[in-house]
Amino acid sequence: MRIGVLTGGGDVPGLNAAIRAVARRAFEYGYEVVGIRNGWAGLLEGNADPLSLNSVSGILHVGGTILGTSRTNPLQRDGGTEQCLEHVKDLGIDALVVVGGDDTLSVAAALFKAGVPVVGVPKTMDNDVAHTDYCIGFNTAVTVVAEACDRLHTTADSHHRVVVVEVMGRDVGWVATIGGLAGGADLILVPECSHTVESICNHITRRCEEQGKGFSIIVVSEGAHIEDLEEREDLGKTDEFGHARLDKRNIGDVLSKAIEMRTGFESRAVILGHLQRGGSPTVFDRVLATRLGATAVDLIKEGRFGQMAAIQGSHIVSVPLEQVAGKTKKIDLDLYRLAEVFF
């Protein structure tokens, strides 16, 4: 048995832990493992190298991915599916472990239907993959957000400023909600809920007048929609999955300027950007990645292809990829309402 493993989409801490787990479990069963370089781009090109005990040693705590990654979408390339099938055959791959978010796993689901024996592992700092409570990388990302809020509270209080903290979250507000809740944010703005500049400014003013708070920490998802905020509409080219670069939207800076103009409070924007997806994974992400990666190989051993290893509660389970592809897990609004208690 020869297993191929690839990591696709944005990098997150914990990917190397998953690669290590896939390889170590496979070696335990006497299987060979090849690492496919740069996500789906590597499979399109047939770019892969054998993995060994030595090559996956010492990577548990290392951020990023030793295999590299890309946002390449074979389904958008002429003959892309056929190329992938051809290189799976040429590389002698009997089963493929795909570690990625919804975009990457949607391609995996399509390739499974085309005849590739695939098993998925969910990773994304956005935590928006359906049918799993947590994705690899999410816990590390929200830990970074919470720590940033901790540090920003003291400087915001000292200077009596409003600090707008822009975090990742294209379609969902998991990072903003959990990171903001843990970091004591005074307001959290997410794509799932309606917001206006007027309501935001009123909240800041009330904090000052009724609570004597001369500062505020506002955490905003990069994909949040604020109805009366004037912002850039043309975000340029999209990637092969149809996503625009939301850093060009610059919502944190635009919102902080609007707040200062309307309230008179000195305001600053802090854009955490790739800090959220860099560095060493937390204990939770290391263990989650290890459990999911090992389970993916167990599913292969059992011949259960077209499945994704997932965590539900404290248990690792399997979910059909067809139930995951194209789905987005929105935030738990009860959790968001809990955060509102502290605004």
Residues tagged active-site: 126
- Counting Cβ atoms within 10 Å, is residue 25 exposed (0-12), middle (13-18) or buried (19+)? buried
Query: Tokens standing for 258?
Result: 């609007």
The contacts found for 112-118 with CB under 8 angstroms, 24 or more apart, are: 112/305, 112/306, 112/321, 114/81, 114/84, 114/85, 115/85, 116/84, 116/85, 116/88, 117/300, 117/305, 118/305, 118/306, 118/321
Q: Between β-strands 187-189 and 216-221, what pairing exists: parallel, antiparallel or unpaired? A: parallel
Q: For 314, which DSSP code?
A: T
Calculated CA dihedral for residues 178, 179, 183, 187, nearest 10 degrees: -80
Query: Tokens standing for 207?
Result: 């904090």
For 338, other C-beta atoms within 10 Å of its C-beta total 12
Distance, CA of 14 to CA of 12 (rounded, Å): 6
**314's torsion region: left (phi>0), alpha (psi -120 to 50) or beta?**
alpha
In the chain the first and final C-alpha atoms are separated, in Å, by: 55
Distance, CA of 5 to CA of 38 (rounded, Å): 11
Query: Which residue, 21, 279, 311, 19, is CA-closest to 140?
Result: 279
The CA–CA distances, whole Å, from 114 to 6, 85, 104, 238, 284 equal 18, 8, 15, 26, 35
Query: Tokens standing for 47?
Result: 């770019």
